[in-house]
Chains A and B, each alone.
Chain A
Amino acid sequence: MHHLEAVAVGVINHKIAQIKVCVPSQSENITDRQASLSVTDSSATSALQALTSAALLLPGLLLMPSKAVSEDTVSMQYSFYKEGERELYNVPNTRTTISADTFHLSSQVSLKDRIKFAFDYTQDTWSGATPVTTSPLVAGGNNPVFENSDEGVTVVGASPIINSRMLMNHELTPLEQDPITGEILGTNTQLVHVLSSASPETRKQADFNLAYEWDAATINLGGGLSLENDYHSYYGSMGGLWNLNEGLTTLKAGLSYNWSETQAIIDHDAAPYITKTAYADQIEFRGGSEILQGNKQDWSTNIGLTQILNKTAFIDINLGYIHSSGFMENPYKTTAIVFIDPETISPNPEVPIVGDVRAFLEQRPDKRNQVSLSTKLVQYIDPLNAAVHLGYQYSHDDWGVDAHTFDAEWVQPLGRGWTLTPNFRYYSQNSANFYQPYLTSEQAFSKNAVDEQGREIWIDASDPESGVEYFRDEHFNLVDSNGEIVDESVLNIKNKTAPFNPELLPDNFSSDHRLSGYGTISAGFTLSKQLTRGLTIQGAFNYYNHAGSLKLGGGGENNYANFDSYSANAAVIVDINALGGYDSHAEHDAHAQHSGHTAPAGVMYSHMLPKANDIMVGYRYMYGRKAGGVLHGTESVSDQAVVNNGCSDETQCRFIQPYMEMNMHMVNIMYAPTDWLNLMIMPTFIDMEMNLRELDGRPPPVDGVHEHTGIGGHTTGGVGDTIISSLFKLVDQSGHHLHLGLGVSAPTGDVDLEFRRIARENGSIVHFAMQLGSGTWDFLPNLTYTGAYNDWSWGAQLKAEVRMQSENESGYRLGNELQTSVWGAYKITSWLSGSIRGIYSTQSAIKGDFNTFSGRVGPMDFPANHGGHFGDIGFGVNASIPSGSLVGNSFAFEWLQPIVDNVNGYQIQRQGALTASWSYAF
C-alpha cells in the first residue's frame, strides 16, 4: 500500500517537474505565451530544449539552476536512528538502546523519452535492546546483573526473566514482597518491559519501477525484495495515473501483492523458557536451533485524486484497502500469562494467591483488513515564496486499531539555493482488541495428573510414550493398573503432568506495545542546499516521542511503555538531467579521453578533474569473499593443525569461519578548487557476514563457558571509516600524467562492536575483521602515473596506509599496508574499454590486542593471524555514456582474482573481490 503511494507520488512529481522545466523559478521573466507552448506539449523535448536554450540567453536566467525535482537523479543517503533509554524501575538500564544505520541509494533515469526507470537500494544494520515482553514489576522482569569492581559488587545491568512467581491479592492485584523478609508491603501494579539485546543484524532491500508515459497517462510496474536473516519479503505492484481536465485533475489507481516469509531463530537461551505449544506445527529443529516459520500475504489497492484548486493550491486524496492473511506475529515477542491454580486459592481473603508467570509466544489473528483515507492540501504562500503542506490520515482495521495522523510541513526557500523545511506530526491510535500487557488464567500451567479415583498417575520417564501408568497404594508401593506391585528400582518413575488447557486462554493475545493505545509527537526539519547546478546536499533531523498519555481522548497505555528516539540523515542528490542537456559535448569528450577514466574500477585516486571548479560525484561498491581451506603461509593445513597451532600456547582453537563476506558502499565527492589540486571526501558504509563451524579435533566445551551454537551466523554493519584526501598534479603532458595523493582516513567506523549479552554474561567483542573501521587516524599517501596513446592507456600506482596512532580505543591497531598496481587498457569502441591489472600488496599483522573480553574461539581472534603478502590479477570493463541526456556518466567493473596468498599465521583463503563504480563529472 505504502509503496504504491510512493510510486504515484513519484510520477506526479515528475509531471509537475515537466511543467517546471518550461517555467524556471524566474518564470516571471518569460512570457506566458512561451510557457504555455511547452506545457501543453510535454513530449516535444527538442522544442523544449530549444526554448530553454533561448531562455538561457536572457540575462538573469543564464546562471539559474533548475531547482525542480529532476527526472534523472541519483541520490545517496546515510541515516542514523537511535532510541532513548527505557525505564526499568528496579534496575539501571545499562543496555545499549536500539540504533540503526541506513544507507540508501536511489536513482531515476529516462531510458527513452517516455520510459522511466527507477531503482532503489536500501541497507539497514541495527542492534541494541528491545522489549520482548511486558511483566508486572513484582514478577521480576529484569534481574540485576552484578559485577565485581573496585567499589565492590555493583549492578551493571539487567538480564531478562520471563518465567517467575508472583503474589496477588484476591482481586488479582499484584502484591509486593520485601525481598529479604518476605513481608508483604502492599499492592504494586507497576508494569515493566523486559528487554533483551540483539547482536547486529542487516536488512537489504532493492526496488525497481518501470513507467511508460503517454501525454495524459502513465502506467507503471514495480517490484522488489527485502532480505534479512529471519524475514524475506517480495512484492510486485502496478499502477496508473490519468491526467484529465487540462492537467488540473489526476486520477490514480494501484494494486500490489506482497509475500513474506518468516524464519525466526528463537533466542537460543530463552527458548527453553518460552511456551510455544500453539506453534508446534510451525517450528522446525535445525542445527541445534528452533526455527519458527510462517508466511504472510498482503493484497493492497488504492485509488486517488490530485486536484489543482487554484493558482496556488492543490489537494491530494487517497483511499486504500489492505487485506493481509497468514503469520502476522512478531516471532520474538512473548506475552506473560499468570496461571492461578484454583485449588491453591485459600478461602481466607487475607492469604495471597500465588501466580505462576509463564512466557507464551504471542498469538495474533491470521486475518487483517485495513482501510485508510489520506488527504493532503498543498498551499503556496505568496509573500514568502513558501509552501505549506497539511495532511490528515485516518485508518481503521478489524483488529480494532483506529489511527489518526495529522502532519504539517512548511517548505521555505531561503535564497542562494537553501531550503529549510520544518515538519510536525501527531499520531494517535487506540489499542487492538486483543492487546493485553499480561493475562491471567485460572488454571494450573502444569499439575500432576490424577485418575478418576483422584490417585496421582506415575509414568516411566525413560519411556514416557509407552502409555503405561502406575499408581501408589496406601503403603506408597508402586502398583500397575491391575493393582500389582511393580519393582520401582528398574523404572525411572516420575509424576505424569497435565498441561494447561489452551481452550481456556483467549484465541489471540499480544503485549507488543505497538498494538497498545498511545500517541506520538514528532518534529524536525530538513535543510537542503543546492551547491551548484545539479548537486544538492540535504540534511534532516527528527525527534519522536511515544507516550500513552498522548493518545487522543486519553486512556492510553501507562508510562512504562514510553520511549523516544531521534533520527538524523545526510544526503547527496545529483541531478543528471539538468546537467546533461546543458553541458557542452566537447567537455565530455575531453573527460572520456582522459587516461584516468579508463583506469580499472578498483584503482582509487586514479583520476584528477581537468579544470578548476569541476565536480565529480561517484559511488563505488566493493565486495570481497574469503572461504574454503585454511592457509598457514602459502600451505593448506588441516583442522587439527589449526586447533593445535592457530590460537595461542594456552588456548587451542575451537572454531573457524567457513566463509566471510564484506560489502562496502563508498560515496565519492570530488572538487577541483584549482586545476592542480583536487579535494575529495569519501564516506563509507559497510556490512559483513561470517559464519562459524567447529574445527575437527577441537577441545571439548567447558561448562559455564558460552559458545556459539545454533545455525545463525553473525553480521555487523554501519558507517565505516571516512577518507579525506587531496590530489596534486605533478606532470600533465600530452599522453602522460602524474599526480600525488595525500589523505587521511578518519576513524568513523566502530571498533568496539560486541555480541549481545548472553544470559548473565557480558557479550564478547566481535572478531577483529568484523569491526567496521581501523579505529585509528591513518595516513594515506599515493602516487599515480597514467599514460595514453591512441586506443591504448596504461598506468601504475603506489599506495600506502600508515596508522598514525599506536592503538585504537579497543587496544590494538591494524597493520600498515602497501599496494602496487600496474595496468593496461584498450578502448574497444568509443564508449567501452577493457583492462587488465596486476596487484601486489602487503600488510603487517595486528599490533596490540583487545583490551576487553574476547571469546577467542579461533584464529581470527588472534592478532598474529592477520595480514600477509598477496598477489592478484584484475579483469576490468569500463563504459562511458558518450552522448544523449546521460552523457558524462561512467560505469566500471573489475574482478580481482587472487593468485598468491602468503598469509601471516593461520587464515582462510581469499576467493576474490569485485568493484563496481559509477561516476558523474560536471
Chain B
Amino acid sequence: MKVKKILLFFSCMMLLNCSAVKPWERGHLAKPQMALDPHPLQSKNRAHHYGSREAGAASNASSGGGGCGCY
C-alpha cells in the first residue's frame, strides 16, 4: 500500500504547512470560482456522457448508482 503511505506523508506535510491560513484570510478560497466543483450541473452532465462511453473507473458513472443510459 505504497499509495496510502504517500498519501499519509502528504497529509502530514499539509497539516504542518497550512495551519498558517487563518479563517479571515480565506476570502479568495470562499469565492465561487474556487468551489471544489464550480459548476455541478455541468460536471454531472459530462460525467454521464464520459461514463457511458469509457471504461475507466474514475469516470464510470454507471458503476455507482444511476443506471446505464447505455445508448
What size tier do the contact residues of chain B reach?
35 or more
Query: Which among B33, B38, B41, B68 is the interface contact of A104 at CB below 8 angstroms?
Result: B41
Q: Do A12 and B36 form a contact, CB below 8 Å, given A32-B24, A319-B7?
A: yes
Of A168-176, A387-395, A608-616, A806-814, the segment with at least 4 beta carbons within 8 Å of chain B is: A387-395
A424 to chain B, nearest CB (A): 12
Per the 8 Å Cβ criterion, residues 374-424 of A in contact with B are 374, 376, 378, 380, 382, 385-387, 389, 393-397, 399, 401, 403, 405, 409, 411-413, 419, 421
Bound CA–CA A25/B37 (angstroms): 18
Per the 8 Å Cβ criterion, residues 16-44 of B in contact with A are 17-42, 44
Query: Which among B33, B39, B55 is the interface contact of A432 at CB below 8 angstroms?
Result: B55
Query: Which among A13, A35, A79, A528 is the interface contact of B35 at CB below 8 angstroms?
Result: A13
Which chain B residue shows the least CB distance to A322? B63
On chain A, the residues within 8 Å of B25 by CB distance are: 32, 311
On chain B, the residues within 8 Å of A317 by CB distance are: 7, 10
Bound CA–CA A306/B34 (angstroms): 13
Query: Which among B7, B40, B55, B63 is the interface contact of A514 at CB below 8 angstroms?
Result: B55
Query: Which among A305, A370, A515 is the interface contact of B63 at CB below 8 angstroms?
Result: A370
Q: Are A9 and B40 in contact (CB under 8 A)?
A: yes
Q: Do A378 and B30 form a contact, CB below 8 Å, given A310-B18, A401-B55?
A: no
Q: Are B35 and A380 in contact (CB under 8 A)?
A: no
Q: Is A309 an interface residue (CB 8 A)?
A: yes
Bound CA–CA A3/B48 (angstroms): 11
On chain A, the residues within 8 Å of B58 by CB distance are: 320, 372, 374, 393-395, 403, 405
On chain A, the residues within 8 Å of B7 by CB distance are: 305, 317, 319
Bound CA–CA A78/B11 (angstroms): 40
On chain B, the residues within 8 Å of A69 by CB distance are: 32, 35, 38, 40
Query: Which among B26, B63, B70 is the interface contact of A2 at CB below 8 angstroms?
Result: B63
Q: Are A205 and B27 in contact (CB under 8 A)?
A: no
Q: Are A427 and B56 in contact (CB under 8 A)?
A: yes
Bound CA–CA A382/B45 (angstroms): 29
**Overall SS of chain A's interface:** strand
Per the 8 Å Cβ criterion, residues 193-235 of A in contact with B are 198, 201, 203, 205, 207, 224, 226-228, 231-233, 235
Q: Is A130 an interface residue (CB 8 A)?
A: yes
- Write out, one digit per residue, whether chain A residues 519-531 have a CB within 8 A of any chain B CB (1) or not (0): 0101000101000
On chain A, the residues within 8 Å of B68 by CB distance are: 203, 226, 228, 231, 233, 260
Q: Are A311 and B30 in contact (CB under 8 A)?
A: no
B41 to chain A, nearest CB (A): 5
On chain B, the residues within 8 Å of A228 by CB distance are: 67-69
Which chain B residue shows the least CB distance to A9? B37
Q: Do A231 and B70 form a contact, CB below 8 Å, given A245-B15, A248-B21, A307-B18?
A: yes
Bound CA–CA A376/B43 (angstroms): 14
Q: Is A826 an interface residue (CB 8 A)?
A: no
Which of A3, A98, A320, A394 lies at the interface centre, i.e. has the most chain B CB atoms within 10 A of its CB? A3
B62 to chain A, nearest CB (A): 8
Q: Are A102 and B45 in contact (CB under 8 A)?
A: yes
Q: Do A235 and B66 form a contact, CB below 8 Å, given A403-B56, A542-B46?
A: yes
Which chain B residue shows the least CB distance to A100? B71
Which chain B residue shows the least CB distance to A513? B53
Q: Are B34 and A305 in contact (CB under 8 A)?
A: no
Query: Which among A32, A256, A394 is the interface contact of B65 at CB below 8 angstroms?
Result: A256
Q: Are A25 and B31 in contact (CB under 8 A)?
A: yes
Q: Do A569 and B45 form a contact, CB below 8 Å, given A387-B33, A401-B55?
A: yes
Q: Are A401 and B56 in contact (CB under 8 A)?
A: yes
Per the 8 Å Cβ criterion, residues 613-645 of A in contact with B are none
Q: Are A258 and B3 in contact (CB under 8 A)?
A: no
Q: Is A818 an interface residue (CB 8 A)?
A: no
A419 to chain B, nearest CB (A): 7
Q: Is A314 an interface residue (CB 8 A)?
A: yes
Query: Which among B3, B21, B32, B65 is the interface contact of A20 at CB below 8 angstroms?
Result: B32
Which chain A residue shows the least CB distance to B64? A1
Q: Do A36 and B57 form a contact, CB below 8 Å, given A324-B63, A387-B34?
A: no
On chain A, the residues within 8 Å of B64 by CB distance are: 1-4, 235, 256, 258, 298, 300, 322
Which of A412, A432, A571 lies at the interface centre, i.e. has the most chain B CB atoms within 10 A of its CB? A571
Bound CA–CA A79/B23 (angstroms): 39
Q: Are A397 and B39 in contact (CB under 8 A)?
A: no
Which chain B residue shows the least CB distance to A376? B36
Q: Are B53 and A540 in contact (CB under 8 A)?
A: no
Q: Do A403 and B41 form a contact, CB below 8 Å, given A16-B30, A305-B7, A387-B34?
A: no
Q: Are A309 and B18 in contact (CB under 8 A)?
A: yes
B9 to chain A, nearest CB (A): 12
Q: Are A224 and B56 in contact (CB under 8 A)?
A: no
On chain A, the residues within 8 Å of B55 by CB distance are: 399, 401, 403, 429, 432, 514-515
Per the 8 Å Cβ criterion, residues 651-697 of A in contact with B are none
A830 to chain B, nearest CB (A): 35
Which chain A residue shows the least CB distance to B7? A317
30 A–B contacts, CB within 8 A, in A order: A1-B60, A2-B61, A3-B66, A13-B40, A19-B26, A19-B29, A20-B30, A32-B24, A32-B25, A75-B41, A77-B41, A77-B45, A104-B41, A203-B67, A207-B65, A228-B67, A245-B19, A246-B22, A248-B18, A249-B14, A378-B36, A380-B29, A401-B55, A401-B56, A413-B32, A421-B39, A429-B56, A520-B54, A540-B39, A571-B41
8 shortest interchain CB distances as A-B pairs: A226-B67, A403-B56, A235-B65, A393-B58, A395-B57, A1-B64, A370-B57, A411-B33
| Residues of A in contact with B (beta carbons under 8 Å apart) | 1-4, 6, 9-10, 12-13, 16-17, 19-20, 23, 25, 27-28, 32-33, 35-36, 39-40, 67-69, 75, 77, 79, 81, 98, 100, 102, 104, 106, 124, 126, 128, 130, 198, 201, 203, 205, 207, 224, 226-228, 231-233, 235, 237, 245-249, 256, 258, 260, 298, 300, 305-312, 314-317, 319-320, 322, 324, 330, 370-374, 376, 378, 380, 382, 385-387, 389, 393-397, 399, 401, 403, 405, 409, 411-413, 419, 421, 427, 429, 432, 514-515, 520, 522, 526, 528, 538, 540, 542, 544, 546, 565, 567, 569, 571, 573
What would 8 more interface pairs be, CB under 8 Å, given A130-B71, A403-B58?
Answer: A9-B36, A104-B44, A126-B69, A203-B68, A245-B18, A322-B57, A387-B33, A403-B56
